Structure 1
Amino acid sequence: MISMTSLTDAIRPRGLRLTLIAAGLIAAGGCAAFGLRQPATAPQPLPTIDRPTPPPKAPARPDGSTLTDAQAQAALITQTDLGAPWTATGGAAHWRDGLLKATTSAGECQRLLDTLYTDELLGGPARVVIALDDDDHNAQLRYQIAARRPSDVDAALSWLKTMPDRCARFTATTQTRTQEDIKVTDTSLPQVGDARQGLRVSIDATTSDNEKYQLTLEVAAVRVGQDAFALTDGGLGDVANSTTQAAVQDGALRLADVRRQGRAQV
């Protein structure tokens, strides 16, 4: 006859085994609840969540810019930004050939004159450009997005910074023998972008018939990250620095906005 003690001892191990099995099932369920990886032998592995694929970067142009052609065009300021009396240009300003196409023996100052005449402040042709006229003051503003590597832009900016010292005052002669007395100084710019430089160039010209003209140019060049823009605001008589500052401020904001929209669309 089996005693109650023996029966209890026989049942206890089986109960313990059931308890351990149940604990194992609970542990497996806990692993699933916390998203832990099941053993490779699991008949139905849990699904995994892949990491989001980072957005592809826009391919860089040889000049380092990340702007598309359409974005570069959209980054130009317009007559709406400057307001009246600025309008779409009617063509190259007549004073460009008459007063900027000149020669000098003052070393680096010839390079400055050539740069002003060709409108290549950043050392190369513009990628896109817009010209606006102020007929009230016989003035023209040319604004361009550069097609230059950042290192080339910085080199051009460094050279422009030397002009108020190296070419503070010099003389030049045009093709029509007009004599010019030229002064170069720094001009004030808003603190925008990563690097910038502005110049004010005053040209007092006297023709062979003793007629006198005064041409004033305000120029600015700004690098914003991988991209850069430049402008020249010139006119007979005086030109307002406020126009230069407004164009630089608006240009930097527009360029930043175009870059931000480009990243959002990727």
Structure 2
Amino acid sequence: MTRRPSRSVRVLCSALAAGALLTTAACSDGGDDVSQAAAVARQTSTGSPSASPTASLTESGAQTALITAADIEDDWTQVKDSEVANWHDTLIIGTVDVDDFLTGKTDAADCQRLLDGLYTDQLLGKPAGASALRGFQQDQSRLLYQVAAYERTDPQESLAWLKTLPQECDEFTVTNNGQESTVQVIETSLPDVGDDRAGLRITVQGTADGEPATLTEDIAAVRVGMDAITVTAGGLDGDEHDSVEQAVKLGTQRLNDVLAGKSPASTPSEIE
């Protein structure tokens, strides 16, 4: 693996992998009918029965659904939660230049929302329920993984928005304290997991510590019912797309296991 430059990059690995399940109350008469109706309702609202409707995602469940260093490729090591809270990179801070867009303020606002979401670890919006976050580091690259529960429509609306960004935010300029950076956004492929998914690669060309620098971040978001996984990983002059794909594959499986009331496997298994 190529060693990254000395400057650390802030990589959002929001692993929003929390699937809120419907709780059914079975009466002494017709209990089976009630349970079946709830299952049908969930399948209709999410598009696929990702997990059995038995309980909502809890804080402990969200923690259990988080991936471990063994779930991702290469030599990632888990870092302390207190360190993750300080993972903020100045290259993604700034004001989007409206003049770069044909439609002006509308597209500029979407691109600003993207940068702000990356910086605040709320790319899909603020979680409405349980959430858990875990960070990993490899050389000077970072990976952030988040699992969180949202309102019924929030994950899907946010995923739909993310899918528009390669076109709306293809390339634009950001200004911060008089320094300009060029940002490019392209679509990336993800494993066919979850109920829906979106993948992006963000490249920021600017200045760090007075020297030219390029930050590359791969972003993945996967919806599982009313919950979602978010992963962001990368570094200066490099990318971590393979690790993001692995995190998405095994992370979605862990979340589905938690939502189904199962204990996730202690070691990774191949998911075809």
TM-score, scaled to structure 2: 0.67
Match of 2:192 in 1: 191
Structure 1 residues 211-230: aligned runs within 5 Å: 211-230=211-230
| 1:88 maps onto 2:78 in alignment | yes
1:199-256 superposed Cα distances (whole Å, 9 cap, x missing partner): 10001113694x2001001111111123211111121111131111101001111111
Hey, what's the Cα distance between the residues in 1 that align with 2:170 and 2:92? 17
Counterpart of 2:135? Answer: 131
RMSD: 2.9
Q: Does 2:109 match 1:117? A: no
List gaps (5 residues or longer) in structure 2. Answer: 1-27, 39-52, 99-107, 264-272
Partner residue in 2 for 1:72: 62
The residue aligned with 1:42 is none
Structure with the larger RCO, 1 or 2 (CA within 8 Å, 6+ apart): 2
In structure 2, do the counterparts of structure 1 residues 208 and 128 end up closer, same or farther at CA, with 3 Å as the change threshold?
Answer: closer
Aligned residues: 205
How far apart, CA to CA, are the structure 2 residues paired with 1:56 and 1:132?
43
Given that 2:143 and 2:233 are in contact with CA atoms closer than 8 Å, whether structure 1 keeps it comes out as yes
Q: CA deviation at 1:174?
A: 2.6
> In 2, Cα distance between the equivalents of 1:233 and 1:55?
45
Task: Kindly provide the amino acid, as one letter, of the partner of residue 185 in structure 2.
Answer: V
Q: Distance in 2 between matches of 1:88 and 1:207?
A: 25
Q: How far apart in 2 are the matches of 1:222 and 1:215? A: 23
Instruction: Measure the CA separation in 2 of the matches of 1:72 and 1:178.
Output: 39
- Cα pair distance change 1:200/1:121, threshold 3 Å: same
Question: Which residue identity does 2:131 align to in structure 1?
Answer: R
Give the residue type in structure 1 aligned to 2:123: L
Deviation at 1:261, TM superposition (A): 2.3
- State the distance in 2 between where 1:158 and 1:99 align: 26
CA offset digits 1:60-89 (Å, max 9, x no partner): xxxx97222211110011112115411122
Report percent identity of matched pairs: 41
Matches within 5 A, 1:1-266: 66-89=56-79, 91-92=83-84, 96-106=88-98, 107=108, 108-125=110-127, 127-134=131-138, 136=139, 138-175=140-177, 177-206=178-207, 209=210, 211-261=211-261
| Runs of at least 5 residues in structure 1 that lack an aligned partner in the other structure | 1-49, 59-63
How far did 1:114 drift? 0.5
Say which SS state the counterpart of residue 199 (structure 1) adopts: strand
- AA matched with 1:100: I
For the Cα contact (< 8 Å) 2:233–2:241, is it kept in 1? no
* Greater helix share, structure number: 1
Instruction: Give the superposition deviation at 1:148.
Output: 0.8
Distance in 2 between the 1:73 and 1:212 partners?
Answer: 38
The structural deviation recorded for 1:98 is 2.0
User: In structure 2, what is the Cα distance between the partners aligned to 1:152 and 1:225?
Assistant: 11
Distance 1:56 1:71, change over 3 A: farther
Cα distance between partner residues in 2 of 1:236 and 1:116: 16
Q: Which has the larger radius of gyration?
A: 1
* Preserved CA contact (<8 Å) 2:145 2:231: yes
Letter in 2 for 1:122: L
Structure 1 window deviating more from structure 2 (74-83 vs 84-93): it is 84-93
